[in-house]
Structures are given as structure tokens and as C-alpha cells.
Structure 1
């Protein structure tokens, strides 16, 4: 049964907004010179064209869908489908002009490289799993011919990550210690064994007097 949760506590225990902030912070740190900002959800192309999302070269980090699932012990998990919106314009680097398509591909390829790193893609946080490989992270073009004529190209990088072990399970949280001499798991309190008994499959020993 779920207990009431005050609004302040609701914000404090939310796993998604802090994770989005951590992703934005990590991408900023790993990509100096590229603007990285959070976005509240799915981008409308008109927002990109009017530059209300992010200035080029830049990334707007949003999400398209969050699904939920249940762990066997009663806790739940969230499956988050993240979307990085890339805005690219032609840029002079040194004395050389780099076209918008090359800028977009470079940023998109960099995001795929980061997502492929099992440590970096945890964004410095516990309680999140590495990006899913089914489906894998994906880079796609988003812009139209009209957008290209305006000198801007748009791309998206999408990936899925799971935030596991949320909520409260119905199984007792007791932990025991394996005793090699006894060949059994020993608990500090006998009451813990009684509370765990309904969840532990066991075979009753035959009565010797039977």
C-alpha cells in the first residue's frame, strides 16, 4: 500500500529530474564549446528553427517516453527513452570552414561514443543502469530541405536507460552471513528467519520417528 507523500518529499525523491540534470552536466563537461541545455520533453521543429531551444552548436537534452515495470520482490523500475536534439550550423574552426552537416555528425558521433562507455554513461550517479543495447543508441537526421536552406541542420540521438529498484518491496530486507562451517546462511536474529520463511523455498525433512 502506498502512503501519502507531501509535495516537498515528492520533489526530493524524484529520480528523473536529477538524472536529466546529471546528463546535461556530464555532456557540458565532456564537450566544451558545445551548448548543452535541458528540455522538458519532445521538441517541436518550429522551436528549433526559432532558436528557442538551444543555440548552435548545441544539444537540448529531453525525453520522449517513460515506461514502468515491476521487480519480482515488489519494487518497480522506470525505462526512460532519452532524446538529445542537436542543432548545427556551419562554423569556422581555425582558418577552415566546417559545414553544418559535418558539425552535426561530429556532435552526434561524440554522443554515441559517450553512450558506449559503460562508466561515463552512468553520469556519475548510482541507481541507473548503462544504456540498453536493444534498442541501441541511434543518431538520426531531423531537418528538412527548408531547414538546410536556412543554414541549420538538426539531428537526434536517442537511447534508453533503466532506473531500477524504486519504491518499497514487499520482501523483508534482512541480510544474512554465510557460515562456511555450518554450510548455511546465519541471521543475527531468529525473528528474521521467520519473516523470510514465506519467501524462501524449502524442503521439509522427513520425521525420523515416522
Structure 2
């Protein structure tokens, strides 16, 4: 075989290999499968597939929407949590260092099917500081609440400046965990009703009412607020 013939054969082989490689890539990467192809796998022709395909698709979509709505409404996917502030134990406590604080008792109610666990509480409110859980005070770091059940989470709230607490309702952030993962929610509690200097009952933002109650109790007890 001459050099020219060998070169020609080599070029032909390279073209064949390249053509085969492109064809393989095309077959693997870009082959389109139509609905008719899927129906034919079950022995149903294209015309019948078109006749039954749309009703089946609509039926599947309707069932999927109904199931999703049921799971959402019952709280199986996303928990339905009621948060409330228990005000019975709100009173002034001044320690040996002169730090003014009070209990913050948060009542939780699970109205859904999904169990949830409160893992963290945080807030950013001027004049107030929320302390982390203290096991010596029997404060649980996490609280788990099952279906149709309730629980209480207690924290210590320090009042650093009574006058600095804002009058507008402020949120508290809760981090909680479910079987779908970890989530965060902001809660703004309802206003409290307090009596002003004219003897009138007026609504006051929860955090402002909390601070006023604790600071007034501290002053009544002779402690600096």
C-alpha cells in the first residue's frame, strides 16, 4: 500500500469515526420522545392517544390539586401554629446587679397534622433584650408540639430602657423544624389594653405594654426602672 493510499484510508476512517460519534451524541442527547411514543409502548396508537390523552391529563391534574389542597388545609405539609403571649406571670424582677427583667411565656398550639419543633426565638426591639434559654430556670431550649396539642416556651426578657421601647407593634422571629425542613416565621402579637392617666382603656402595642407593666411594677416596689 502506497503512502497516498494509506493517508486516504486514514482520512476515511477518521471521518467515519467522527460521523459515528456525532450520530451517537445526537441519538443520546437530543432524541425527543413524543406522547404518542409513550402511548405506543402500551399498544395504543397515536389517534387513540390524542383522544384519551387530554382527559387523562386533566384528571391527573385535578387529583393532584385536590390532594395538595387537602394536605395544605390539614397542615400536613405546612404547620398551622397559633402563637400567643401568656401575660399572667409578667412581673418585675430585679437581680443583685440591678438588672430589670420578667418572664415571657409563649403559648403554642398546633392545629395541623405536622409535628413541629421550635428551635430558636429572636427579636430586635429597642429597650428590650431576650435572653437565651437557661436550664437552671427550667427553660427548654426547644419545644416540640404534636398534632392537636399545645406547649409553652419560657424566656427571660430584660428591660434595658423603658422609655426606648417603641409604640408600634414589633415582631418576634421563630425558627421551627418540621419533617420538610427548617422554617422561620415572624409573629406580631395583638395589642394589649391598658388604662391611661385619664382612666381610659386604650390599646397599646404588646411590647410597649409589656415594658410599661414591668417598669411600673419595679417603681411600685421601689426598684429603679
TM-score by length of 1: 0.30
Task: Indicate the structure with greater helix content.
Answer: 2
Q: Which structure has the greater CA radius of gyration?
A: 2
TM-score by length of 2: 0.29
